[in-house]
Amino acid sequence: MDQVNSLNYSWEILKIFLYLSAIIVLIYGLNYFLRNSRRYFGQQGSVIKVIDRGFCPSMRRCILSR
């Protein structure tokens, strides 16, 4: 029974680690996208400005329509 408990415990730690790394990757990805989005949006990329412009279903169509 001890073996099962330690296995569960390590799985919980692994899950927490996976969640954390996913969040970090998301933050870096968003940062990278925003840094690149400056040339599309014409100014300093920021989350608020992107949200302010409204959600674009198709990014390419959105960029082409500007």
Q: Give the start-to-end residue ranges of the domains of the chain.
A: 2-64
Write the CB contacts of 63 (distance below 8 Å, at least 6 apart in sequence). 40
Q: Please write the tens of the pLDDT for every residue from 35-66.
A: 776 665 555 445 555 554 555 555 555 555 54
Distance CA(44)–CA(38), nearest Å, equals 5
Per-residue CA distances from 12 to 8, 16, 26 (Å): 6, 6, 21
- Among the residues of 1-66, which ranges form H helices? 2-41, 47-52, 59-64
Query: Do 34 and 47 contact (CB within 8 A), yes or no?
Result: yes
Q: Could you tell me the pTM of the whole model?
A: 0.42
Which pLDDT band holds residue 4 (cuts at 50, 70, 90)?
A: confident
